[in-house]
């Protein structure tokens, strides 16, 4: 039996096996208190939804070795101090994250391989080709032969469904197969000690758990809000050495390194009263490389989000800062996928505030890493350029806004939009606003859109250290009209006494040329 190192060091990037992590002595953020809560609660069926790369698979692996009675792996952890009687239970881990379900038949291959290994382990005869009765036979025989009820762990229960949200025929095929498979959780209840399922999404109208009416959903509960991810307290407890090394590499002090980590990787919140959570994938990578990078974004983004936003012609700023009812977050309707639910369940929006009396949530983008990745990903859905980002026009635009030369900045912006494929994207005014919004955020300028004043709403406000730009965008109108609206509605008034110079910019965009046609600039009198 391999000895567990007493001192943890090193970052197990992508390691989802608890046993391997512990035997190597890698840093493990102790989540076994939640295992104790689960076994003490007496509930039989659990469900947890979290975004990808948030530690769901590692938690299921921890559950597996716990119920297999591997006490030596838990030495020094919370659960080791509870007086738990370590007994071995038959554990069936159904990992659906091992394949791409881009066509019917892929699920059957995964299930057949798993079932064969379980049948061999517990001496079960294969009684049918149909996977549902075959699964039932495995559950019941494992209980009978070991004398202990079965623990079933389902990793990414929804992987075949999420991968086919825009392919109705495939989705329905997999939904039917999974519903039949998961029906055994109820029909074989007397043989089951615990079922714990994880996934990214919680489907509302086409549920695969329609028969399981006693499923305990801990996705939104305060008690389990920290079950995955890393809290501020855990960051300070487990990663001090990594933070110090990051500070040296970034040439900041310890508190400065903490601010960098918080700004880029913190900000997730999964319950009304829950703590803010760091993305564990990004945080571990940043610790390992001693560098602030876009780690989570590099693992891929679902195109269905962009397609849903385009389908409803969403105003992006409103979509990324919104208030919604409780039910919106807890369900996803395949027939009409609502962008807010998609953005939340996939981790691009998170809870920022809970209004208890209204039972409503304010949602926002968690952090800078997610914001930059999301905006960069979405921009091609609103504009398609002949050039790649970033390019000379973009860098020129930033430089001229910072240096206080709005005319040259607008020329650079005009050149950028001139590179857009004339056949694509800018088919309406809202798309132009969205493209402008995404572009100015991606290039790092302090940008706000739809800024409300006493006389109206400013289209775009850009702030730099020395300058403020108030911009009105007109679609198929003259720049003179745009500038006139700024002046008549006194859009510059809130910054009349600001120490910075304020420029008013009326901008005209043509639907015919898909380009900025012209602009008029005036400096606001102080």
In the chain, which residues have pLDDT < 70?
1-2, 6-7, 203-207, 210-211, 301, 332-336, 382-392, 419-431, 443, 526
Instruction: Give Rg (Cα) of the chain.
Output: 27
What are the start-end ranges of the E strands in 216-356? 216-217, 230-231, 277-278, 321-325, 350-355
pLDDT at 113: 93
Give the model confidence (pLDDT) of 258-270 as tens digits: 999 999 999 999 9
In angstroms, the CA 503 to CA 500 distance is: 10
Quote the percentage of the chain above a pLDDT of 90: 56
CATH number at residue 64: 3.40.50
Domain that holds residue 314: 300-368
pLDDT at 389: 45
One domain, residues 310 and 170: no
pLDDT at 384: 54
In angstroms, the CA 119 to CA 417 distance is: 61
In angstroms, the CA 250 to CA 260 distance is: 9
Give the model confidence (pLDDT) of 42-70 as tens digits: 899 999 999 989 999 999 999 999 999 99
The reply to whether 10 falls in a domain is no
Domain count, the chain: 4
Q: Give the residue among 160, 165, 191, 194 at the shortest CA–CA distance from 177.
A: 160
pLDDT at 284: 95
One domain, residues 250 and 113: no
In angstroms, the CA 298 to CA 279 distance is: 14
Distance of CA 413 to the CA centre of its chain: 31
One domain, residues 163 and 310: no
pLDDT at 427: 56
pLDDT at 379: 74
One domain, residues 218 and 318: no
pLDDT at 6: 67
One domain, residues 96 and 161: yes
Q: Angle 240-250/254-265 helices, nearest 10 degrees?
A: 100
Give the model confidence (pLDDT) of 10-22 as tens digits: 898 888 999 999 9
What are the start-end ranges of the E strands in 232-381? 277-278, 321-325, 350-355, 360-364
Distance of CA 249 to the CA centre of its chain: 28
């Amino acid at each position: 039996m391999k000895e567990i190192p007493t001192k943890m060091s090193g970052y197990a990037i992508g390691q989802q096996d608890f046993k391997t992590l512990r035997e190597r002595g890698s840093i493990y953020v102790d989540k076994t208190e939640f295992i104790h809560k689960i076994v003490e609660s007496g509930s039989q069926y659990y469900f947890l939804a979290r975004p990808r790369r948030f530690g769901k698979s590692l938690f299921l692996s921890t559950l597996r070795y716990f119920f297999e009675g591997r006490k030596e792996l838990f030495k020094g952890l919370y659960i080791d101090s509870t007086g738990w009687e370590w007994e071995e239970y038959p554990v069936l881990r159904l990992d659906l994250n091992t394949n791409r379900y881009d066509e019917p038949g892929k699920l059957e291959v995964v299930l057949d391989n798993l079932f064969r290994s379980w049948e061999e382990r517990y001496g079960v005869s294969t009684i049918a080709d149909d996977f549902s009765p075959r699964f039932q036979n495995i559950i019941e025989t494992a209980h009978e032969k070991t004398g202990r009820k079965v623990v079933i762990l389902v990793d990414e229960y929804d992987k075949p469904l999420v991968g086919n949200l825009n392919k109705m025929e495939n989705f329905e095929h997999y939904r039917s197969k999974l519903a039949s498979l998961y029906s055994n959780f109820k029909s074989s209840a007397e043989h089951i000690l615990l079922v714990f399922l994880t996934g990214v999404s919680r489907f509302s109208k086409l549920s695969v758990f329609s028969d399981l009416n006693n499923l305990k959903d801990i996705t939104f509960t305060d008690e389990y809000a920290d079950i995955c991810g890393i809290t501020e307290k855990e960051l300070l407890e487990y990663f001090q050495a990594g933070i110090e090394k990051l500070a040296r590499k970034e040439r900041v002090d310890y508190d400065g390194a903490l601010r960098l980590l918080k700004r880029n990787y913190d900000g997730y919140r999964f319950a009304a009263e829950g703590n803010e959570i760091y993305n564990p994938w990004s945080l571990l990578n940043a610790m390992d490389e001693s560098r602030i990078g876009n780690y989570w974004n590099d693992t891929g983004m679902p195109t269905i989000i962009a397609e849903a936003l385009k389908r409803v012609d969403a105003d992006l700023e409103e979509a990324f800062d919104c208030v919604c009812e409780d039910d919106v977050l807890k369900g996803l309707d395949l027939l009409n996928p609502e962008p807010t639910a998609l953005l939340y369940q996939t981790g691009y929006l998170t809870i920022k505030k809970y209004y208890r009396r209204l039972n409503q949530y304010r949602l926002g983008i968690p952090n800078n890493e997610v914001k930059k990745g999301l905006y960069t990903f979405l921009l091609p859905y609103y504009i398609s350029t002949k050039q790649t980002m970033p390019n000379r026009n973009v860098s020129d635009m930033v430089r001229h806004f910072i240096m206080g030369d709005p005319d040259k900045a607008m020329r650079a912006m005009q050149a950028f939009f001139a590179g857009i494929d004339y056949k694509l994207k800018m088919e309406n005014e809202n798309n132009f606003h969205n493209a402008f919004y995404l572009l100015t955020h991606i290039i790092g300028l302090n940008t706000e859109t739809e800024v409300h004043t006493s006389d109206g709403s400013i289209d775009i406000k850009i702030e730099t250290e020395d300058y403020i730009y108030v911009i009105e965008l007109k679609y198929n109108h003259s720049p003179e009209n745009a500038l006139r609206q700024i002046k008549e509605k006194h859009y510059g008034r809130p910054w009349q006494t600001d120490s910075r110079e304020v420029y008013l910019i009326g901008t005209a965009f043509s639907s015919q040329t898909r380009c900025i046609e012209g602009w008029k600039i005036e400096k606001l009198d102080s």
